[in-house]
Amino acid sequence: MADENVESKPPVGVKRSGKPTFLIVAVLMGLEGVGIFFVTKLVVAPQPSAAVAAEGHAATQEGETPAGRAQTTAEVELTDCRPSNRMSGRTFTFRLRVSGLVSAEDRERATALVEANRARITDRVNFVIRSAEPQQLNEPGLETVKRRMKHEIDLILGDEQLVKEILIPEMLQSGTGL
């Protein structure tokens, strides 16, 4: 009779498996990750704007077409020179053509001023190239060099509004011994 009152106990050495708990946690984490992904895609990331191709490298002003810009501006050749640069420790020689973009109405006045100051313009362009740092000469758009040239040419011509933009259609670089 004593045997009937004894409750059956599970064996002491038997372990319960942790697989169900692990699976539940893994499924919850996966659902959380997917939920966060979709919520951030919908809320945070705006739709990309449509890309618009522009003709030429110069940016046009709002409402101005590239064809309209070509009719209202003219190019005036400023100089064709061969300056050198030693700022990196090595001598580099450049073959350089520089032009200026002016308004069509000012083309004749700009041409006359450039012809009257040809040597001074060439000297200042040479100065800008000789004093430029190597990283400035390796910029894709030569923004720093163009800005410095525009400043120097504006000083020579005496009119900051005459030359709208500096154009460098040709710039060939060669090192010594080449």
Q: Is residue 166 part of a domain?
A: yes
Q: Does the pTM exceed 0.85? A: no
Phi/psi for 86 (5° steps) reads -120, 15
- CATH number for 78: 3.30.479.30
Rounded Cα distance between 135 and 59, Å, is 23
- The number of beta carbons lying within 10 Å of the beta carbon of residue 136 is 18
pLDDT of residue 16: 61
Average pLDDT over all residues of the chain: 79
Instruction: Name the domain count of the chain.
Output: 1
Q: Is residue 130 part of a domain?
A: yes
Q: Is residue 110 part of a domain?
A: yes
Measuring CA to CA, which residue among 97, 87, 140 is closest to residue 122? 97
Q: Is residue 11 part of a domain?
A: no
pLDDT of residue 52: 65
pLDDT of residue 161: 85
Residue labelled with tokens 């501006």:
73
Provide the residue type at 74 as one letter.
A
Residue 174 pLDDT greater than 70, yes or no:
yes
Rounded Cα distance between 80 and 120, Å, is 13
Residue 5 pLDDT greater than 70, yes or no:
no
Q: Is residue 45 part of a domain?
A: no
Q: What range defines the domain where residue 136 resides?
A: 72-175
pLDDT digits (tens, 9 = 90+) for 38-73: 888 777 656 666 666 655 544 444 445 555 555 688
